[in-house]
Structure 1
Amino acid sequence: MRTLAVVGVVLALLLPTEPVLAADASAPLVTVDGTRFVDSHGREVVLRGFNVSGEVKLAEKGGLPFGSAADARTPALAMRNLTNANSVRFLLSWAAAEPTRGVIDTTYLAKVAEQAGVFADLGFEVLLDFHQDLFSRYLFNSGSWYTGDGAPQWLVQAGAYPQESCGICVTWGQNITQNAAVQQATYDFWHNRILTERDAFLAYAKQVLVYLRANLGDARFARMLGVNPFNEPFAGTYDSGQNSRTWERDVLWPFYVQFRGVMDAAGWAERPAFVEPNLFWNGNVSQQAGGFLDSGAIGPRYVFNSHFYDQQAISGVLMWGKATDGQESDDFAAIRDRAAALSAPAFVSEFGHPLTGYTSDKAPSVDKAMYQGLDSRLPGAQWWTGVATSGPVLSGTQWQWDIYSGRHHELMNGNADKVQTAGDGWNGEDFSAVALDDAGTAYLRQDARLLDRVYPAAVAGRTLAFVYEDRSRDGTSPMSWTPVPSRLPNVTTTVNGSRYAVLVWRSGGDGAATEVKLPAGFRNTVVADVTYAIAADGRTLSLTGGGTAGVVHFALITDAVAPSATVLAAARTELSGWAAAAFG
């Protein structure tokens, strides 16, 4: 035996060996697998966070989300500590990046890389967003009621567009369909009419992506989730015989294919393009056919990227009163269904409700309903009995996270007599979930119960169902929409009227841990059929011991004080029977 061993060693030394390839430090940490986001362990990933930030729409910080890298670190740390978020949508400005035609401002891009890098360094996944609203600020005159953002001045000047006017418009968004200057400029962009502007945009985007790939560094680039090519696309006006569906098919989708090629050429081939359908595809006031009905399966190189704002609630006249259980369930279910039909993951990159103004009293209930829609396709009253149809948990980023909220100094359209300081500093909006106090400390402007949530960040296997009853407040009144059924008395006793979440998943069998994010100060009473541990800071629950692939597992996590061991054991038995009946 000794002789054979020696011979084996000699042969091993003489025979050629395969080279050991170093791991690619720049490879994305989150990728696409079918209709899911997955990490390097193959776990199903849910991404939650905020947009940073609407400050990019303003001139005061030069089209950057923050005034400096130090300013970026303050909200990044606050977002992590106050909400346990794991992702951000990071806005970019064409006007700031290319102030002169064909000349990219690398000083601006260096600051973009630096500020995005702050979030990457702190563990956030970063989705880059090439942002625009109403095409460009340079369409609007100094006395206008409204403004825009996006295209640079040199492009607008070449268009010789008509004097902008929205007529009698109640909200800035009406400019999209009522302002002739906005409509014509948008139409020209898609048709490459004035300065081959669509081609110019693609050339600009390529230079931006090449620069960022070269200057982020491998570790930061690994945190770049993907690219949002164009914010809230719309035709401007349709050609004769054209409608929203054919416009998506003949104009928008070919643009996305071109942008996909730009990403590949710029070194972003491993990241998906987060493509948005026609702006009005999923509007609950003006809904149009679309959602890439003619594109076939688009995954894994694309993510279906939708926005959702409840325009009926925002209007104040189309929805009376507050949102109730299931208010947004159908609209978020439509996003799930469309993504499934496209064989791609879904991502809701904007959602939210105004925090001041005429309908701001609806914000607590509307935003709760939106998070409910992200967590499950079912209203709370139906969840326990209909759990088998709960559906996948959606990823998304709330609009928005602006540390300058209420402290802006924006000269609207350059007019020194129209200095905007309130809210978001842009078109009278006020959506920021965060602000700074006089000492420079970040605080939440919404109920922490709503924003600091339980969510399954990484599931080892397949998520079958998830729900979180946050019991967030509308004023001083708790909103409780997902009662535990009386047929589960020990589960009811365990929850005891407190916040709670339930995760049901089918194990992947690879031994990786399922990780659930937890709110700050949560008591973390857990009832599960697997082994669990809670991180030292109390913000992550690890569930291990899933065992054989394909086995259904469950975990109940609640903020209640733990009852007796007898009650916990009985609750586990109830949950085991319930999960088996629903999923086999």
Structure 2
Amino acid sequence: MSAALLAMAGVSAVTAPPAKAADPAGVIVVSPDEQNWVFRDGDGREVTLRGFNVSGSTKLYENDLLPFRSAADAAESAQAMRDLTGANAIRFLISWEGVQPAPDRIDHAYLDRAIAQIRAFTDRGFRVLLDYHQDLYSSHLFNEGSWYTGDGAPEWVIEAGDYPKESCGICLLWGQNMQTNAAVREAAYDFWRNRVLTTSAGPIGVQDAFITQAKATMSYLEQRLPRQAFDSIVGFDPFNEPFDGGLDGGSGLDWEKAYLMPFYQRFRTAMDESGWAAKPAFVEPLVFWNTGFFEQGGMSSIGRLGTRMVFNSHYYDGARMTLDPSPASDGTYAAPMNEIRRRATELGTAPFISEFGNKLDDDRTPWMIRAMYQAMDHGVPGRTWWNEPADGGTVLSAIQWHWDIYHDRHHELMNGNPRKVQTDGDGWNDENHSVVAVDDEGDVTLRLDRRVLDRLYPAAVNGDTLAFAFEDLARSGYGGAGQQQAWLTVPSSLPAVADLVGGRQFGVLAWKGSATEAPTDLHLPGSFAPAGTTVVSDLGALSGLPASGPIKATREPGSSSAHRLQLTPAGDSAAAVHFALVVNTTTGSPVTPAQLAAARAELSSWATSHFPAG
């Protein structure tokens, strides 16, 4: 661990050797598929991005409005994330206040620190989505005795706005401030309408100021990041969780069309003028869309987005976060995840989920997160997946909220109040979402069952994904406690497959081939040791993965311990249909050649019936 983290844990610092730099992740683009829109890399492979937000610490002044207190902490965190979860992407938060502390100044030192932290991830093979983060518009709207706080806009913007005294009234959730807090609402209203503020640098439109500093930020990053690191930046999220501040009698769809999309178009132009023309903007709809409450918005009134913008949604279960006491189970989140898939298809672009999760002091959370991942893998329940695998839809790229190595070790003065020092959880608004913490030995440890977070997923498919599903067998409690229950049920029509996977973790990928020779890559969870992993595929069937050949295990780029499965059909074509069953057979009876042959015959027939070639 870094000296800073070790010191926090009360452990003497030990200098760790630098991690070996990974091969660059490379540029990805938005590409139309036969039925869906997807991300593709330089080899034309269909890419799935999975990882975590880094982090809510950007909201904290103790962190100087950055995810990490040092580049060393970022490097240690990146290495742990790669090794423990196999993540290949992060959403990296930055702050408008950090970039532009005064109306006539860009803080290049702040950007230099951000660059060093970004490189800690790109050097280890991560792709990075940059995010201008805000919550309730600005911390400077809140008084030091408030129940809540915000982040985003600089103090000079709020001072020039001369907003009323903030008060949420009787608010049980921070999000209610968007509906009832006059200061928060008026400030947001002014931003979308580009109110001209009188500042020390003269009159400035507030949205103009934001676009100007964003352009300066992007130009600086393009100039200062090494080319391979810049290529690993997938794009920019212009504005986290946009909220209207006042609809003036219209609907959320009206507001998105009249105010949100013109802002996104301005940001898109700024990207083009700053050397970011080849990267998409990851644009979010009105904040409460698809949460179970306040279902305004969804961008259905704005026309098609195309390849230069990505439909970027968040997903939180508003009902279970408030009134619904029921647990999550197989298929719970298929409908909201399918709504994200459907809306992206209507908009003519790729879907992306840049936040999802739940608080980690809820007994239901482990299986809520499990069910969210399941629905992002496939949009049908596991109990019916084998009978209708093609109905599962696109494998969704998604970034979980969040990864905070300072969890329970914060020291944040809430709204600058020395009598309200936030130390627990995320150090912000009593939130508790981080999936990691640092233990007393200074090691980054997972707070959820590793089987929830370290998942088999198709990181890069050479061709077109036809169907994917994963049975993680994650337990219902924390720390591996609680109930274990299989959700991906193999039907009686596949007895050999059912015999092979019974009581074991396994995943299934079906894909249409490609004329190129690049491999199809799946991340292997840590529980899938190469020597104990069985693969049954049209490419062959074997128990124990070699280091070479058409079916092989190799080290994940940038990782000291994680592996990936690589599948490379010989003489592939775009008409060919492939399948692979991947099973964790490190425990249980040894797999026999007869079992492999029987399972392969069943899977071949299953694939032919559901995915005819041609």
Q: Which amino acid aligns with 1:548?
A: S
Aligned counterparts, 1:319-338, within 5 A: 319-338=324-343
CA separation in 2, counterparts of 1:538 and 1:368? 21
Deviations 1:492-537 (A, max 9, x none): 1111211110001011121221011010131321111113111255
In the alignment, what sits opposite 2:475? 473
Q: Distance in 2 between matches of 1:320 and 1:106?
A: 48
2:538 is equivalent to residue 529 of structure 1: yes
Q: Which residue of 1 aligns with 2:438?
A: 436
Query: Within the alignment, does 1:400 sit opposite 2:419 as a pair?
Result: no
Indicate the residue corresponding to 1:484 in structure 2.
Answer: 490
| Secondary structure at 2:314 match in 1 | strand
1:187-198 map, 5 Å:
187-195=189-197, 196-198=205-207
Q: Does the aligned pair in 2 maintain the 1:137–1:413 contact within 8 Å? A: yes
Q: Say if 2:25 and 2:126, in contact at 8 Å, map to a contact too.
A: no
**Structure 1 residue 27, shift from structure 2 partner:** 11
**Partner residue, 1:249:** 257
Aligned with residue 585 of structure 2, among 560, 569, 572: 560
Contact 2:85 2:525 (8 Å CA) reproduced: yes
Find the aligned partners of 1:271 and 1:479 in 2 and give their Cα distance. Answer: 41
Counterpart amino acid of residue 32 in structure 1: V
Could you tell me which amino acid in structure 1 is paired with residue 472 of structure 2?
D
Aligned partners of 1:133, 1:28: CA distance in 2, in Å? 31
Q: Cα distance 1:52–1:92, how it changes in 2: closer, same or farther (>3 A)?
A: same
* Residue among 307, 312, 332 paired with 2:314: 307
Distance in 1, Cα, partners of 2:294 & 2:328: 20
Q: Which residue of 2 aligns with 1:347?
A: 352
Q: Is the 8 A contact 2:382 2:487 kept in 1?
A: yes
Tell me the distance in 2 between the aligned counterparts of 1:80 and 1:149: 29
Partner of 1:53: 55
Alpha-carbon separation, structure 2, partners of 1:541 and 1:90: 27
Residue 539 of structure 1 pairs with residue 563 of structure 2 = yes
Partner of 1:263: 271
**How much has 1:28 moved relative to structure 2?**
5.0
Aligned to 1:551: 576
Letter in structure 1 aligned against 2:554:
A
Q: Which residue pairs with 1:208 in the alignment?
A: 217
Q: Which position in structure 1 is the counterpart of 2:12?
A: none
| Aligned residue in 1 for 2:604 | 576
Contact persistence 2:58–2:67 (CA under 8 A): yes
Aligned to 2:462: 460
1:78 paired to 2:89: no
Distance 1:194 1:151 in 2: 15
- TM-score of the pair, normalised by structure 1: 0.93
User: Given residue 340 of structure 2, which amino acid in structure 1 is its aligned partner?
Assistant: I
1:286 equivalent among 294, 302, 310: 294
Give SS of 1:464's match.
strand
| SS across alignment from 2:306 | coil
1:26 to partner: Cα distance: 10
Amino acid at match of 1:348: I
Contact 2:82–2:562 (CA under 8 A) maintained in structure 1: no
Per-residue CA distance 1:554-582 (angstroms, 9 max, x = gap): 00001125521111111011011111111
Equivalent residue for 2:13?
Answer: none
Distance in 2 between the 1:27 and 1:206 partners?
A: 25
SS in 1 for 2:580: strand
Q: CA deviation at 1:538?
A: 6.1
| Mapped contact 1:410–1:420 kept (Cα < 8 A) | yes
**1:316-367 superposed Cα distances (whole Å, 9 cap, x missing partner):** x2x22311111111000000011111121111000001002xxx11101110
Instruction: Tell me what 1:236 maps to.
Output: 245
Quote the offset at 1:283 in angstroms: 1.7
Task: Tell me if structure 2 keeps the 8 A contact 1:158–1:194.
Answer: no
**Partner of 2:509 in structure 1?**
503
Larger Rg: 1
Structure 1: tracts of 5 or more residues without a match: 1-24
Q: Distance in 1 between matches of 2:113 and 2:317?
A: 34
Does the CA-based 8 Å contact 1:159-1:194 persist in structure 2?
Answer: no
Give the match for residue 30 of structure 2: 32
CA RMSD of aligned residues (A): 1.4
Kindly tell me the number of residue pairs found equivalent between the two proteins: 553
**CA apart distance, 1:74:** 1.1
| Amino-acid identity (%) | 50
Q: Which runs of 4+ in 1 moved over 6 A?
A: none
Superposed displacement of residue 539, structure 1: 1.3
Distance across 2 between alignment mates of 1:493 and 1:450: 24
Is the contact made by 2:144 and 2:416 (CA closer than 8 Å) also made in structure 1? Answer: yes
Unmatched runs of 5 consecutive residues or more in structure 2: 1-22, 198-204, 540-549, 556-560
1:103 Cα deviation (Å)? Answer: 0.4
Aligned partners of 1:297, 1:147: CA distance in 2, in Å? 36
